[in-house]
Amino acid sequence: MTWTRTRAVSALALGTASALLLSACNADEPVVTGPSHAPVSISVGYYGNFGLEELEAKYEKSHPWVDLTLETGAYAAQHDMLQQAIITGSGAPTVMAIDEGYITRFVSQSDGFVNLVDLGANDYKDSMLPWTWAEAANADESVVIGIPNNVYGLALCYRSDLFEAAGLESDREAVSAAMSGGWDDFISEGQKYVAATGKPFLDDATTVLNPAVMQLGTGYAYYDLTQKLDLDAVKPAFEIATDVISADLSANIPTLAQEWNAGLSTDAFAATICPQWMLGYIGTQIDAETFTGQWDVAELPGPGGNMGGSFFTLPKGGTTDEQQAGYEFIQWLMEPEQQIAMMDATGTLSAQKALLQSESVKNFTSEFFNNAPYGDIFSKSVLEIPEPLYYAPKNLAVRTAVENVLDDIQAGNISIADAWEAAIAAAEAADAAK
């Protein structure tokens, strides 16, 4: 199972908190003294909500020699368009936003992109979360096709009322502390819940796999740095997921399925591993008057996690002046004032460490989730990921194949005893597929 991303998220009351951070920035738009190139038209391709509509006029006012056109579209369609443009060598926008789920595919086609190292992109490397930087680069980082824009950390969203009724700790700090030892503690707490209620604890055990892989600290996932399939490196994470299944913690309800949406307001499950964007989504699926404060957010077991994010790239095509203007636009978007504006508009977090560590961002709260300081929780999650992860071009296909094996175990089609051999076979088949 793969999780479907959505950009239908709320800003989660970012406005008040981000205003505090803006007060520390220069309130006046920097005056650009003149162009580094002739008047030029550039286009920016993206999907969903990046907050760019609110920034378009501001950029053109401070850069009057640039005519900026925004080209938005559906998530999959925009990436398919880019793929076709890379194949044909034409038709791509000057600047293109690429989602984390697609970035490794395009890194393997880096000849179709401007190498941002040549434009000075390494100046940003130390300011970014190291694992985001690695995602848009080749194995030795001599080629970088994207500047990280935003991230979606992982946490544990849970029903505090159901936890309390089962005799578990329900205060978010106490929940985080109870699971601070990692996934073994998570399983132990889940077993207590199941014993007390006879109900599943977690929505879907498959969701445990990817954060557990990220926490291993190997520096890669499924493929080593030579792009050789290495399933043994992820076996400990796979065993964590099968341990969750063996402990009967899972409801086996796929995230975002209709049954899952309905389960948010019943006792079908008490917890879900949630990326940041999911907070807004959950709030749209259940009655706020009844459930405000009953859902809460605790830290993810283990050292951090993330699911999703975006990168700004420069597909090849157009003139040198257009490429330079496109890169200057990306540079402008990386400035703190624009990053804050995009966080305001989208409810995401910046990929820049300094912003994530600022007190204002840490203090972002969600009223629906019992006033949880989600800015602090999700920032900590992405800051604690132990190592940059290298993702080979077929990483997503292999990961999906292994997740499908976990789904089959939960459905009773594969035994725990046969699970690892089945995962190896599925991964090898995905690796061999064209």
pLDDT tens profile 152-168: 999 999 999 999 999 99
Tokens of 238: 């796979």
> What is the C-alpha separation between 394 and 105, in angstroms, rounded?
7
Q: Letter for the amino acid at 123?
A: D
Q: Residue 428 has which token pair?
A: 């090898």
Q: What are the structure tokens assigned to 269, written together?
A: 């499950």
Over residues 314-323, the mean pLDDT reads: 94
What pTM does this model have? 0.84
pLDDT for 26: 46
185-243 per-position pLDDT tens digit: 999 999 999 999 999 999 999 999 999 999 998 888 899 888 899 999 999 999 999 99
**77-107 exposure pattern, b = at least 16 Cβ within 10 A, e = fewer:** ebbebbbebbeeeeebbbbbbbbbbbbbbbb
Residue 29 per-residue DSSP state: P
Instruction: For residue 176, give the nearest of 378, 357, 348, 367 by alpha carbon.
Output: 378
Q: Which residues pair with 154 in a beta bridge?
A: 275
169 DSSP 8-state letter: -
**Amino acid 393: pLDDT:** 83
Whole-angstrom distance, CA of residue 154 vs CA of residue 297? 10
Give the integer Cα–Cα distance in Å for 215 and 150: 20
Structure tokens at 24: 């520390």
Model confidence at 35, pLDDT cuts 50, 70, 90, reads low
Quickly list DSSP for 387-423. S--B--TTHHHHHHHHHHHHHHHHTTSS-GGGHHHHH
User: What 3-state class would DSSP assign to 289?
Assistant: helix
Is pLDDT larger for residue 391 or for residue 316? 316
Q: Nearest CA to 327 among 139, 138, 118? A: 118
- Here the tokens at position 81 are 């368009």
pLDDT classification of 34: cutoffs 50, 70, 90: low
More confident of the two residues 335 and 392: 335
Tell me whether strands 40-47 and 66-73 are parallel, antiparallel or unpaired: parallel
- pLDDT tens by residue, 92-134: 999 999 999 899 889 999 999 999 999 999 999 999 998 899 8
β-pair partners for 151: 309, 349
pLDDT for residue 221:
87
Alpha helices in 89-170 (DSSP H): 100-107, 130-135, 160-165
Q: Which of 265, 216, 266, 261 is nearest to 237 (CA)?
A: 216
pLDDT of 23 reads 42
pLDDT exceeds 60 at position 295: yes
Residues paired with 273 in a beta bridge = 156
Which helix (H) or strand (E) is 84 found in, with range?
helix 75-88
The C-alpha angle 120, 311, 95, rounded to 5 degrees, equals 75
Q: Please give the C-alpha separations between residue 315 and each of 43, 45, 90, 128, 406, in angstroms, as whole numbers.
A: 11, 11, 9, 22, 37
Longest dimension (CA), the chain: 70
Per-residue pLDDT tens over the stretch 364-379: 888 899 999 999 999 9
Look at strands 271-275 and 146-159 and give their pairing.
antiparallel
Tell me the domains of the chain and their CATH numbers. Answer: 20-152+307-362 (3.40.190.10), 153-305+387-432 (3.40.190.10)
